[in-house]
Amino acid sequence: MPQTTSAPLMTVTGSTLVIAPAPRRRAARAPGPYGRLFALPGTRAFTAGNLIARLPMGMFGISAVMMIAGQRGSYALAGAVTATGLAATALVAPWTARLVDRYGQARIAVPATVIAVLGSVALILCARTQAPAWTLFACYAATATTPNIGGMSRARWTHLLRESPAHHTAMSFEQAADELCYMCGPVVAAFLCSAVFPEAGTLTAAALLLIGMLLFTSQRATEPPVSAPGQGTSPLRAVRPLLVLFVPLGLLFGSMEVTSIAHLDARGLGAATGLVLALQAAGSCAAGLLYGAFRPRSLRTCLIALTAALTLPWAAAATGSLPLLAAALLLAGMATAPTMVTAMSRIHAVTPEGRLNEGMTLAVTAILAGIALGSAAAGTLIDHLGPTTPYALPAAAALLALIVSQTVRLSGTSQVP
């Protein structure tokens, strides 16, 4: 077998010792920002659980609507049940988050998840057995104990990377994960409810939530420490000025979705609704990952870009062109993630030590309130002005958020960049 030889490192010429240069080796490529992020011990495991438990967040609502409407023949009842669950979540979620901060993620999140899963199972049984309508409201309200998995995951990243520039990358990844789950969740739910059986979406979502939460909370090495009794003040006072910013952000999400559904349905393109809305979420997901690889921008800059981008769907809808509308929604989605990442970073900055999950959940609650307002406002405008003009509402909401951010900054109540 032939042997390969390499040039000697040292040769002797006469009485002179010559040191030959070592052969060049190709330099190893440095890992990217996300490679460095997930090189940290334990991060891959808790992220896997986080993604499994987060996917149902995009499944529960549409699964409940399709199941109840299919079993009871009433979309009005289905909408009322899901609205009640949303209101219950807005009330219960901050308290659940406070308990998580006080007693630990594993100790609180697991039993809270079990209660929510039991509520989902009870909802399935009541819908299938034609139980009285009030039981549907009670069962779906019980799912409000579902822990804010996104907030708990962000709290872990903050615990690991609080003083590191990689924290921005982690928050961008979390925003992208939100968009991915809200993009894929409704598609999976609609397929299960229509192709398998009406209860399949809710049942699958409940199983994924429980499995993912058990996997997530089992990673104890990355769990942030609990807050001591009395540690830190309530985060409500610190984040209140920023909550006023998150309401119009939620308003633009809710109004955009309802307007897009109505606009496409009015033009006989209802079958394309899922694909068009998925493009918007895909744009936000991609932009979130890209944003994490670069230096963060100011909130003002992000909101200006968001306001400009949200005028595009309004203009595209006026042309009646589906490809133009899809492209406009894709670009609008790409402006969303940087804004949300930067705004959530402000929540991290002002929330007292040991109360991060509660502060994050308060922000999510404000977004949910805005989504409810946006959905209702868009529905009213659609009834009175048609399905195209209400596309102005998301742009107006983004402009309002920009004005609010400047007011908060100038008043000195919060140092919004």
Q: Domain containing 92 — which CATH number? A: 1.20.1250.20
Q: What is the pLDDT of residue 185?
A: 81
221 & 246 share domain: no
pLDDT of the residue at 29: 65
Same domain, 272 and 342: yes
Residue 354 maps to a domain: yes
Output the six-digit token pair for 283.
């744009």
pLDDT given for residue 50 in this prediction: 92
How many angstroms separate the Cα of 28 from the Cα of each of 25, 31, 39? 9, 9, 16
Cα gap 230→245, rounded to integer Å: 28
Give yes or no: residues 309 and 194 share one domain: no
Asked, for residue 30, whether it belongs to a domain, the answer is no
Question: 308 is in which domain, residue-wise?
Answer: 236-417
pTM: 0.74
Q: What is the pLDDT of residue 166?
A: 83
Domain count, the chain: 2
> For residue 7, is it within any domain?
no
Q: Residue 122 and residue 128: Cα distance in Å, rounded? A: 10
Q: Does 297 lie in the same domain as 215?
A: no
| pLDDT of 60 | 86
Residue-level pLDDT at 59: 85
Same domain, 176 and 241: no
Q: Which of 226, 247, 265 is the last residue of a domain?
A: 226
pLDDT reported for residue 21? 54
Same domain, 75 and 188: yes
Tell whether 206 is covered by a domain.
yes
- Cα 237 from chain centroid? 24
Domain-located, residue 242: yes
Asked if residue 256 is part of any domain, the answer here is yes
Domain check: are 207 and 333 in the same one? no
pLDDT for position 409: 56
Three-state SS string over the chain comes to CCCCCCCCCEEEECCEEEECCCCCCCCCCCCCHHHHHCCCCCHHHHHHHHHHHHHHHHCHHHHHHHHHHHHHCCHHHHHHHHHHHHHHHHHHHHHHHHHHHHHCHHHHHHHHHHHHHHHHHHHHHHHHCCCCHHHHHHHHHHHHHCCCHHHHHHHHHHHHHCCCCHHHHHHHHHHHHHHHHHHHHHHHHHHHHHHHCCCHHHHHHHHHHHHHHHHHHCCHHHCCCCCCCCCCCCHHHHHHHHHHHHHHHHHHHHHHHHHHHHHHHHCCCHHHHHHHHHHHHHHHHHHHHHHCCCCCCCHHHHHHHHHHHCHHHHHHHHHCCHHHHHHHHHHHHHHHHHHHHHHHHHHHHHCCCCCHHHHHHHHHHHHHHHHHHHHHHHHHHHHHHCCCHHHHHHHHHHHHHHHHHHHHHHHCCCCCC
The per-residue pLDDT for 197 is: 86
Flag whether 15 is in a domain: no
Residue 225 confidence (pLDDT): 83
Instruction: Pick out the chain residues at pLDDT < 70.
Output: 1-31, 228-233, 270-271, 274, 408-417
Does 279 share its domain with 189? Answer: no
Does 198 share its domain with 292?
no
pLDDT recorded at residue 306: 93
Do 188 and 317 reside in the same domain of the chain?
no
Q: Are residue 219 and residue 245 in the same domain, yes or no?
A: no
